[in-house]
Amino acid sequence: MTQTQQAPTASRLFEPARLGGLELPSRLVMAPLTRNRAGADGVPGELMATYYAQRASAGLIIAEGTTPNAVGQTYPHIPGIHGPAQIAGWRRVTEAVRAAGGRMFLQLQHGGRVGHPDTSGHVPLAPSAVRFPEPLHTPGGLREAVAPREMTAEDIRSTIADFADAARNAVEAGFAGVEVHSANGHLLHQFLARNTNLRTDEWGGSVEGRIRFTVEVVRAVAEAIGPERVGVRISPGVNVNGVDEGDTEEIYPALVKALADVGPAYLHQVHAAPDQAAFTGIRRDWPGTLIANPALTHEEVAADGGRLRGELLLAAGADLVALGRGFLANPDFVERLRTGAPLNELRPESLMYVQGAEGYTDYPALER
């Protein structure tokens, strides 16, 4: 264990807040964290219910990236939300979280070109046939990525409909809402970025063309379940998973303004920092709730879990703060931050994306 370096003080992090129709007991949100603990069929089991229920004291849990249709699956053992068994599995999770006093959104994640036929059974779909540059984990081990198939107008239409259906399924499974994943190099981000979207039709080309898919997915999801149940995750300037946005400073002002017209409950910015142009621009242009997720160093996670960085973001105008690894390692993370109790040490990377309870549900809570 490492000792936190801050004395506990009153903090806006622990104030209640409203989000859409929800009352949150604090401004601390558990960021979506892929953990590969679902069955091979994408069905969440008891272990996932235990893990999330342990973390129910979060102001809000945003559950891990979950596949809205079969072709969108990224890696083995990623949960899905497009079939009855998956909906039933998630229902057990949301019931366990509700019984423990928590609230939950579900992140809808379509991998686009981040996917492999050996995993999903399908050639991946993407805005353009630009291959993912690295090998991908599959059930048979690491495999070279294959070139994705460029989506037709019909593929685009049906994928948007799949997001709307997945959102309805999530509500049926007991989630308070969904977060549309338009960050970190997945399908929606592939539409935004210049190096992965080479299209010349209305879904590509200009900034207006490249933001269209994200806007239309969010619109369809909002129409399906109500805008107050919808959030959107974005990662301006974060070129992970091989995306290179190109014109970041033009994409996001246009995207944020277009999303404001659709009116989802929140925007969730990854790698947010108080004096960063992307953050201050979004805060200026976005009238709704803004969740900020700072990019912490390993040392910051160990030192205070992100409390200081979170407070600075609230002071700079964020409404809620999302933290990932602190919640991963501490089932009672909010209480530990509030009281200044020591934090558990994060277990090795080799336990992050594997099956089983080790490094998952066996992080201890504080003794009472």
Ligand X SMILES: Cc1cc2nc3c(=O)[nH]c(=O)nc-3n(C[C@H](O)[C@H](O)[C@H](O)COP(=O)(O)O)c2cc1C
Q: Scan for tokens 């099956």, then name that residue.
A: 355
Q: Which of 331, 323, 353, 350 is nearest to 51 (CA)?
A: 331
Question: What minimum distance in Å lies between the beta carbon of 346 and ligand X?
Answer: 9
What are the start-end ranges of the E strands in 197-356? Answer: 230-234, 266-270, 289-293, 320-323
Please report, as ranges, the residues that interact with ligand X according to CB under 6 A. Answer: 31-34, 64-65, 107, 181, 183-184, 233, 270, 293, 296, 301, 306, 323-326, 352
Helices (H), strands (E): how many in the chain? 12, 14
Residue 208's contacts (CB-CB under 8 Å, 6 or more residues apart) are 254
| Cβ-based nearer residue to ligand X, 3 or 297 | 297
Question: What minimum distance in Å lies between the beta carbon of 79 and ligand X?
Answer: 10
| Cβ-based nearer residue to ligand X, 232 or 296 | 296
Question: What minimum distance in Å lies between the beta carbon of 313 and ligand X?
Answer: 12
Question: What minimum distance in Å lies between the beta carbon of 14 and ligand X?
Answer: 17
Question: What minimum distance in Å lies between the beta carbon of 358 and ligand X?
Answer: 14
| Cβ-based nearer residue to ligand X, 183 or 215 | 183
| Cβ-based nearer residue to ligand X, 102 or 185 | 185
Q: Using the 8-state DSSP alphabet, how is residue 367 labeled?
A: P
CB 23 within 8 A of CB 270: no
Question: What minimum distance in Å lies between the beta carbon of 64 and ligand X?
Answer: 5
What are the start-end ranges of the E strands in the chain? Answer: 17-19, 22-24, 28-30, 60-66, 104-108, 125-126, 136-138, 141-143, 149-150, 177-182, 230-234, 266-270, 289-293, 320-323
| Cβ-based nearer residue to ligand X, 204 or 241 | 241
| Cβ-based nearer residue to ligand X, 204 or 296 | 296
